[in-house]
Amino acid sequence: MTAIDRRQLLAFGAAGAALASLPARAGIGSIPANSPIANAEPITTAERMARMARVQSLMQQGGIGALFVEAGSTLRYFTGINWWRSERLTAALIPAEGPICVVTPFFEEPSIREMLAVPGDVRVWQEDENPHALVAAWLTERKLAGRPVAIEETVRHFAIDGLQRALPGVGVRSGAALVNACRMIKSPAEIALMQRASDITIAAYRAMAPKIEKGMSGPDVYLLMATETARLGGQTPSGGVQLNEGSALPHGSKERQAVREGSVILMDCGCTVDGYHADISRTLVFGSPDASQRRLFDHVRLGQEAAMAAARVGTPAGRVDDAVRAVYEPLGYGPGYKLPGLSHRTGHGIGLDVHEPVNLVHGEATPLAPGMCFSNEPGLYVPGSYGVRIEDCFYMTETGPRWFSTPPKSLDEPFS
């Protein structure tokens, strides 16, 4: 999904205000008046320290000297630093024992120190200096140069290459297993933040749906959603809207479509709260749905229900996807990922990233465990005609899956 922040929303200016002020219209299904939004608190320093202790324990067990993490969601997860990636290196070194080290440009130091939520050293480099030498020097000082350095899986090549040039012979290993072992299992605080983001997204859907008008484009409809999401306190509104034949393409078409009587409107939207994502898709029809549209919607709901029935603690994640296709194939879809049918995985992990390990996809052997969070989004797509996708996220408990948002009952009640 694409993201839009508050500054971008303001840039829409009069267009956004005009769309947001449109009067409500009847005829887009049943739209409940009230949408309660759960409270949630930001992640505490104590929780980040517990995360650090967990990953350090895993590093000690694996003989790893340090974990190298560039700016991004994993840096935020462990340190609280919410930073972007550029050609200037900002990264953290998490040792197997002791406080971390953050390397950043000199002129960024005040901002980095302001966000750093755990004990640690901040080392800076000037524009004419080599940041990789700074990394190598810290590893040498800490007597970690002779032990493997685990690399978080999204770290860019230039950072790894720079480290190896600055510290010849350093051992480099994948840090994916270390990070995933921590991030895949969400704490109650993380789940609360995701619940709030989900509640905001549902409330935004309900607020904007009556304002959809004939002749609007997909971006017009999305602007309604993004405006309502920001108004309700959702951060970084994200997503898109596909109309008519474009709804048969899961992530849309370049062809510009407009809302007309009988239009299928497929919306895939979300937001964040303290960095944690909601990702919810809704499909509705402008006007009265026909029998074919209702049938496809009902078939998608069967898939969602099959996924939830299959999601049990200890079950390999891939079997959730298999269960959905076992329902769809006798109905004439597929087989497998073929069209017309479900051409993508049933779901993905979600948290600080909107897509993160593991996926609900055929062949994925990772067993489901309490605290894992996923999307459940089995769409059905008929090329050249239209598609339907319903997406709600859930989290695993000891007794099975629990919804963040409740799926709609029918195409006549798309926001129930």
pLDDT digits (tens, 9 = 90+) for 111-127: 999 999 999 999 999 99
pLDDT tens per residue across span 140-188: 999 999 999 999 999 999 999 999 999 999 999 999 999 999 999 999 9
Report the number of distinct structural domains present in the chain. 2
Q: Which of 387, 390, 412 is nearest to 403 (CA)?
A: 390
Domain CATH number, residue 274? 3.90.230.10
Using CA atoms, how far residue 245 sits from 254, 255, 377, 388, 395, in Å, is 11, 9, 19, 11, 33
Residue 353, H or E segment: none
Residue 319, H or E segment: helix 318-328
One-letter amino acid of 336: G
301 and 262 fall within a common domain: yes
What token pair was written down for 324? 């959905």
pLDDT at 247: 97
What token pair was written down for 250? 């899961």
End position of a domain, from candidates 183, 207, 227: 183
Place of tokens 């800490």: 142
Contacts of 336 (CB under 8 A, 6+ apart): 325, 362
What token pair was written down for 385? 């005609």
Within 79-181, strands assigned E span 91-95, 100-105, 120-125, 149-151, 172-174
Residue 109, classed as helix, strand or coil, is helix
The answer to whether the CB of 234 falls within 8 A of the CB of 201 is yes
90 and 127 fall within a common domain: yes
**Rounded Cα gap, residues 347 and 303, in angstroms:** 11
**pLDDT band at residue 296, thresholds of 50, 70 and 90?**
very high
Question: Is position 408 within any domain?
Answer: no
192 and 326 fall within a common domain: yes
Q: Which domain holds residue 136?
A: 45-183
pLDDT at residue 16 tops 50: no
pLDDT at residue 8 tops 70: no
**Rounded Cα gap, residues 246 and 235, in angstroms:** 27
pLDDT at residue 1 tops 90: no
Q: Decide: residue 246, CB within 10 A, 0-12 exposed, 13-18 middle, 19+ buried.
A: buried
160 and 200 fall within a common domain: no
Domain CATH number, residue 84? 3.40.350.10
Residue 388, classed as helix, strand or coil, is strand
Contacts of 415 (CB under 8 A, 6+ apart): 29, 30, 31, 32, 202, 205, 206, 209, 282, 284, 408
What token pair was written down for 161? 């290459």
Q: Which of 382, 202, 401 is nearest to 297 (CA)?
A: 382
Question: Is position 298 within any domain?
Answer: yes
Average pLDDT (341-353) is 98
190 and 176 fall within a common domain: no
152 and 286 fall within a common domain: no
179 and 190 fall within a common domain: no
156 and 278 fall within a common domain: no
In degrees, rounded to 5, the angle at the alpha carbon of residue 186 between the alpha carbons of residues 192 and 112 is 85
144 and 276 fall within a common domain: no
**Rounded Cα gap, residues 49 and 54, in angstroms:** 9
**Sequential DSSP letters for 239-297:** EEEEEGGGGGSTT--SS--B--TT-EEEEEEEEEETTEEEEEEEEEESS---HHHHHHH
Question: Is position 295 within any domain?
Answer: yes
275 and 332 fall within a common domain: yes
What token pair was written down for 25? 């219209």
86 and 234 fall within a common domain: no
Contacts of 316 (CB under 8 A, 6+ apart): 364, 365, 366, 367, 368
Q: Which of 395, 410, 414 is nearest to 192 (CA)?
A: 395
pLDDT at 245: 96
End position of a domain, from candidates 156, 183, 210: 183
**Rounded Cα gap, residues 41 and 225, in angstroms:** 25
Cα 315 → chain centroid: 23
**2-16, 17-31, 167-181: least confident range:** 2-16
What token pair was written down for 317? 């994640």
The answer to whether the CB of 312 falls within 8 A of the CB of 400 is yes
- Predicted TM-score (pTM) of the model is 0.93
pLDDT tens per residue across span 229-285: 999 999 999 999 999 999 999 887 778 899 999 999 999 999 999 999 999 999 999
215 and 363 fall within a common domain: yes
